[in-house]
A and B are shown apart, each in its own frame.
Chain A
Amino acid sequence: AQKVTQAQTEISVVEKEDVTLDCVYETRDTTYYLFWYKQPPSGELVFLIRRNSFDEQNEISGRYSWNFQKSTSSFNFTITASQVVDSAVYFCALTRSYNTDKLIFGTGTRLQVFP
């Protein structure tokens, strides 16, 4: 069965600290997509990144970076030099099966960045 685990319920850091949000997934599919979404206090989930199962290259976008490792079924998200605006709930998600855009979400990690 498909499953996404975000073991960290809540993380608090001080501004400028680096922080890593963990995501571990389970799937029987060989082809799948992984996602990270951000939910700021306004409530709307914002897409951050999509990764397909054949692309294990790490990705960096500004202060954000993602580490995809199939060997450990993990897709971790690191924010470098965190800022107060990074405070949000972050969700990791996995496609439920091949050729579908139905997703299964993790339970989310609430990140609080204090000034």
Chain B
Amino acid sequence: DVKVTQSSRYLVKRTGEKVFLECVQDMDHENMFWYRQDPGLGLRLIYFSYDVKMKEKGDIPEGYSVSREKKERFSLILESASTNQTSMYLCASSDLAGGTYEQYFGPGTRLTVT
């Protein structure tokens, strides 16, 4: 079974703090994704990585950066957290080479910025 884990289920940070959200997958997937989920807006893609050290902006990258130093780990960084970044953050991985196009999701991190 594919397992995608995220470092925290709940996180509370102060405005201006630097925040790291970590995601680890154990199935050797090439592709990894960070989404944020907000009521009425569904899932929106923040960043995407298709290989180690490779990344691509998604639909809403402003205020975020990412790091992928190892294949299994994909980190989302909020350089200076703001209240409008309060949201649920979901990480996913997929095996495009396998041809299934299916994404496997982690349990999510609910981030509150005060």
Identify the A interface with B (CB < 8 A). Answer: 6, 9, 33, 35, 37, 42-47, 50, 91, 95, 100-103, 105-108
Contact = CB atoms under 8 A, between A and B. Distances in A.
Interface residues of B, number: 27
A45 B96 contact: no
A50 B99 CA distance: 11
Contact of A106 (B42, B94, B100): B42
A41 to B, nearest CB: 11
A100 B42 contact: no
B40 A101 contact: no
22 contacts: A6-B42, A33-B101, A35-B101, A42-B107, A43-B88, A43-B110, A45-B90, A45-B92, A45-B103, A50-B101, A91-B43, A95-B101, A101-B96, A102-B48, A102-B58, A105-B35, A105-B43, A105-B44, A106-B42, A107-B40, A107-B41, A108-B42
